[in-house]
Chain A
C-alpha cells in the first residue's frame, strides 16, 4: 500500500471504492430521475413508496458497513449493533417529536402526545434541546458513540473478546430493549415515537421530502463507506487487522490493542447511529423492537452473506437479504423465518467468504489485504 498519500484521499485511488461509489451514484441518480421525470403510469416510473423502500435498504446497508468494520476488520462480532442503530433513531425521533409541536392529538405545544397521555406535566430533562435540529443531529452521533465508548472501554480494557463479547453485546441490547419498553423511561414505551409531521421544515409526507431523504441516505452511505475505507487502509486499519488475527501478538509488539479496538468500535457505533437516524423519518416510527437481539443478529447475517471484511460485500448482503425479506413476507409470511434460518446455516457452512468471495477478480485487484478471515478468534483467546 502506498502510504505517501493522505489517509483521506487514499480510498479514492482504490479500484473497489471507485466502482462502489460509481454504482451507488448511478443507482441514486437513476432512481431520482425516474421518479421525477417519468409519468406516473409509465412502466419505468419509480413510486415514492419504492423510493422510501430503497432508502430503507440504504440505511440497512450503512448499518451493515458499520458492522463489517468491527467484525470484518477488528474481529469483534457485535450482536448489539441494533442498539446503536436504535439510539440514533431515537435521537432523530425525539427531534421529530418536538417538531410536531401543537399539531399532536392533544395539542400540547411542548409535550409529545404520549407524555400528555401519561399525565406528565413537564418534559424530562433529557428531552430538552431536541427541538433544535443541530443539537439532535449531534446527539445522533453522541448517544451511540458514548454508549460504545463506555461499554467498549470497560470491555476492551479487561480484554473481553470473542464469543464473550458477542454474548454481552447481545445482553446489552436485550437490556436496553427491556428498558425502552418501560413507559417510565420517557421514550413512548411499547409504541415508541411516531406520528411525525416534518423535518427541517419539510413535510415528511411529500414526495420531495422522501426523495430528499433517499438522496441524503445515499450520500451518508457513500461518506460512511469512504470513512471506513480510509480507516481500514490506514496504519490504524492494519493494526486493527492484526488485532483481529493475533491479538496477543499485536499487544506484545507494543500496540495498545484496546485503544485501536475502542476507536474503531466507537466509529462503527456512530455510523450505525446515523443509519438509524436516517431510517426513522423514512419509516415513520421508532420503537423498542429495533433493540431486539434478533434484529442485531440479522445484521450480522447480511454481512456474512455479502462477505466479511470487504465493506461492499456488506452493502450487497444487506440489500439482497432485505429485498428477499420484502418479497417473502409479502408472499409467504410464515416462510420468512425458515428462509432466514436456512440462510444463517448455509452461509456459514458453505459460503464462509460470502458473495464477495465469489468475485475473485475484483477482489484480487482491489484488496491487497490478506484474504477475508474465515474464522474468528478462539472462544477463550
Chain B
C-alpha cells in the first residue's frame, strides 16, 4: 500500500509541479516560509497554517498537505544535513530501511536517498489529519472535473466544521453540477444536524443512505428538542425502509449472479441430457476443461489477460466440444438406450479427466487473471454497488442462452435435433443423418459447457475439482426446470440461485445449500417432470 500511495503522491506532485515551473521561483520563498511555520508551530497552530497553505493558491499545496497528512513531509535537519540541502523540505517517497528516498518538495527534483537520521519529519496527529482531509476536499471542490468535485464532496460528509461550512455555502451557490450540489447540501445538512440541531436539515437528510448522515440523525434522536427528536426518528425510519429495499436488491443481484452461473453450467446439460437424453456425468469436467483453456490461453499471452479471455471463448468452446465428441464416439454411442450404463461410463470418464488434469497440470488450483475491464464495481447508490465481473457473467449467460435458443429454434441443426429426438426412425427415413445429428448436438452441449468454464474461471478457483462441484447442481437445475426445456433451465437456474441467496443470511451457506437440495428432492416428488414438463409426443420419449 505504501508504495502505491507514494507513487500516487509522486504522480500528483509531478503533475502539479509541471505547469508551475515558470513562475515557481516567485512563490518558492512564500512556500518555504509557510512550510517552515508548519514545521515549527504547535499542533493547535498547524491546522491554521495548513489552511493558509491551501489558500495560497500554490498548485503544489495539495501534494504538500497530502504528504503532511501521511507523515511524509520532512525537512532536512539544518544542523546535520550538507550545506546545500539543509533546511530543504522534502517529500519522503519510500521510508523503508535506513536511508529514505526523498524528493524536493518545492522543485520536485529527485534527491536520492538520505539517511533517516538527517530528516526531521513534520509531526501530525489524527485530528490534524481529518482537518487536512477537509481542507483538501475544499481544494478539490474548485477543480474543473465534476467527478472529482463529486468525490471531494462525498469525502466532506461528516468532516465539516464551522469555517468550512461558510466556504461550502459559497461554493454551493456557484456549483453547477446537480449531483455535486446535492452532495454538498447533504454534507452541510449533516453539519447542521450535528452541531446546530437544525430541523430543516433533518428533512434534507431523510432520504440519504450515507452512514454519516445516519450517524448524525441517530445523535439527533437523543436531542432535547422533541420536534427535532421526532423528525430525526421519522427520517431514520424512512432511511431504514430505503436500506431494506437496497438490501433486497443486493440479494436479488447476488441471487441472479449465482443463478446465471448455474444456468451457464446447466444449459449444456439441458442440451445433452434434456434434449438428447444422454446422461453425461463428465459434463462437469467439460466445464473444467473450458476453465483450464482460459488459464492456458493466459499463459500463452502473458500480459494480455483481457485479450486471452476473449480468445478463450471460442477456444474453450472448441476444446470442450472436441472432448465431447471424443466421449460420444468412443463410449456413449455404444450405450444408446441404456441410460444407467451411460451414467456409469461417463462417470468413469470424469474420474479419468480429473486425474489427467491432476497429473499433467497440477493438483493445485491455477490462478486466472481478471482483466481490468472486468474488475471493480458500479455504484448504484451509497448502499448498493454491483461487482462488474458478476454483471458480465449475467450478461454472458443471457447471451449464451439466447444463442442456444436461436440455434434450437431457427436453424436447420435445431430442427434436425428435435426431429431425431422425437422420432429417430421417422427422422432417418426423411433423410436426416441421425448419427451426424447426434455428434453435432453433443458437440454443441459440450461446447457450451466449455463456455461455462471460461466464465467460471473468472469467479472461482480453477482446479481439478471445479467440475465436480457443479455437476450435481447442474443436474438439479435441469431436472427442476423440466427435461428438454431450455426455458425451464433458465427459470430454474435463476430461481434456485435466488432462493439460495435468500436463505443464506439466516441459514448460513452450507445449510442453505442443503435446504435447496432438500427442496428440489421434495419438489421432484411432487412434480416428477419439473417446472415445465414436456407435453405431447415428446414427453413419451
Interface residues of A (CB under 8 A from B): 77, 151, 154-155, 157-160, 162-164, 166-168, 170-172, 174-175, 178-179, 181-182, 293, 297, 300-301, 304, 334, 337-338, 340-345, 347-349, 352, 374-380
Closest to B351 in A: A341
Q: Is there contact, CB below 8 Å, between B540 and A342?
A: no
A249 to chain B, nearest CB (A): 15
Q: Is there contact, CB below 8 Å, between A179 and B343?
A: no
| CB contact under 8 A between A168 and B344, given known A182-B510, A337-B351 | no
B140 to chain A, nearest CB (A): 50
B342 to chain A, nearest CB (A): 8
CA of A375 to CA of B352, assembled, Å: 24
CA of A378 to CA of B336, assembled, Å: 10
| CB contact under 8 A between A344 and B510, given known A168-B524, A175-B518, A380-B540 | no
B341 at the interface (CB under 8 A from A): yes
| CB contact under 8 A between A341 and B525, given known A166-B340, A375-B337, A378-B337 | no
Q: Interface SS of chain A: helix, strand, loop or mixed? A: helix
Q: Is there contact, CB below 8 Å, between B528 and A158?
A: yes
| CB contact under 8 A between A167 and B518, given known A160-B525, A181-B510, A343-B348 | no
B443 to chain A, nearest CB (A): 20
> Which 7 residue pairs are nearest across A and B when measured between Cβ atoms?
A344-B348, A341-B351, A341-B352, A376-B340, A337-B355, A175-B517, A154-B525
CA of A334 to CA of B363, assembled, Å: 11
Interface-side segment among B27-35, B148-156, B253-261, B471-479: B471-479
Q: How large is the interface on B (under 10, 10 to 19, 20 to 34, 35 or more residues)?
A: 35 or more
Chain A residues whose CB sits within 8 angstroms of the CB of B476 once the complex forms: 167, 171
B345 at the interface (CB under 8 A from A): yes
Q: Is there contact, CB below 8 Å, between B472 and A293?
A: yes
| CB contact under 8 A between A172 and B521, given known A178-B513, A375-B341 | yes
Q: How many A-B residue pairs have CB under 8 A?
A: 138
Q: Is there contact, CB below 8 Å, between B479 and A167?
A: yes
CA of A159 to CA of B526, assembled, Å: 10
| CB contact under 8 A between A379 and B349, given known A171-B520, A174-B517, A374-B338 | no
Q: Is there contact, CB below 8 Å, between B541 and A378?
A: yes
CB contacts under 8 Å to A, within B329-384, are 331, 334-335, 337-345, 347-352, 354-356, 358-359
Chain B residues whose CB sits within 8 angstroms of the CB of A164 once the complex forms: 479, 524, 528
| CB contact under 8 A between A349 and B335, given known A340-B348, A342-B352 | yes
Chain B residues whose CB sits within 8 angstroms of the CB of A179 once the complex forms: 510-511, 514
Chain B residues whose CB sits within 8 angstroms of the CB of A168 once the complex forms: 479, 520-521, 524
B405 at the interface (CB under 8 A from A): no
Q: Is there contact, CB below 8 Å, between A349 and B331?
A: yes
Closest to A344 in B: B348
A88 to chain B, nearest CB (A): 21
| CB contact under 8 A between A344 and B351, given known A301-B344, A376-B340 | yes
CA of A342 to CA of B476, assembled, Å: 26
Q: In the complex, which of the residues A167, A337, A349 has the most CB atoms of chain B within 10 Å of its own CB atom?
A: A167
Closest to A304 in B: B344
Closest to B527 in A: A158
Q: Is there contact, CB below 8 Å, between A155 and B513?
A: no
Q: Is there contact, CB below 8 Å, between B339 and A345?
A: no
B515 to chain A, nearest CB (A): 9
Q: Is there contact, CB below 8 Å, between A297 and B472?
A: no
Q: Is there contact, CB below 8 Å, between A376 and B338?
A: yes
A219 to chain B, nearest CB (A): 31
* Given pairs A154-B521, A158-B524, A178-B514, 8 additional interface contacts (CB within 8 A): A157-B525, A160-B528, A170-B475, A172-B517, A352-B341, A375-B340, A379-B483, A380-B539
Q: Is there contact, CB below 8 Å, between B339 and A379?
A: yes
Selected contact of B541 from candidates A374, A376, A379, CB within 8 Å? A379
B51 at the interface (CB under 8 A from A): no
CA of A160 to CA of B479, assembled, Å: 12
Closest to B332 in A: A349
| CB contact under 8 A between A178 and B510, given known A345-B331, A378-B337 | yes
Q: Is there contact, CB below 8 Å, between A163 and B352?
A: no
Q: Is there contact, CB below 8 Å, between B358 and A334?
A: yes
CA of A160 to CA of B525, assembled, Å: 7
Chain B residues whose CB sits within 8 angstroms of the CB of A160 once the complex forms: 524-525, 528
CA of A80 to CA of B439, assembled, Å: 31
CA of A167 to CA of B331, assembled, Å: 21
Chain B residues whose CB sits within 8 angstroms of the CB of A297 once the complex forms: 344, 347
Q: Is there contact, CB below 8 Å, between B354 and A337?
A: yes
CA of A155 to CA of B525, assembled, Å: 5
- A/B interface sample: 30 pairs, CB < 8 A: A77-B340, A154-B525, A160-B525, A160-B528, A162-B340, A163-B340, A168-B520, A170-B475, A171-B475, A171-B520, A175-B514, A182-B511, A297-B344, A297-B347, A337-B351, A340-B348, A340-B351, A341-B351, A344-B345, A345-B349, A348-B342, A348-B345, A349-B345, A375-B340, A375-B341, A376-B341, A377-B339, A379-B277, A379-B541, A380-B541
B425 at the interface (CB under 8 A from A): no
A35 to chain B, nearest CB (A): 36
CA of A301 to CA of B281, assembled, Å: 14
| CB contact under 8 A between A170 and B472, given known A341-B349, A348-B345, A378-B339 | yes
Chain B residues whose CB sits within 8 angstroms of the CB of A347 once the complex forms: 344
Chain A residues whose CB sits within 8 angstroms of the CB of B541 once the complex forms: 378-380
| CB contact under 8 A between A162 and B339, given known A337-B355, A344-B347, A380-B483 | yes
CA of A300 to CA of B346, assembled, Å: 13
CA of A77 to CA of B335, assembled, Å: 16
Closest to B350 in A: A341
Closest to A337 in B: B355
CB contacts under 8 Å to A, within B491-541, are 510-511, 513-514, 517-518, 520-522, 524-526, 528, 539-541
CA of A171 to CA of B522, assembled, Å: 11
Chain B residues whose CB sits within 8 angstroms of the CB of A155 once the complex forms: 524-525
B279 at the interface (CB under 8 A from A): yes
CA of A379 to CA of B336, assembled, Å: 11
CA of A167 to CA of B473, assembled, Å: 10
| CB contact under 8 A between A154 and B472, given known A175-B514, A337-B354 | no
B322 to chain A, nearest CB (A): 18
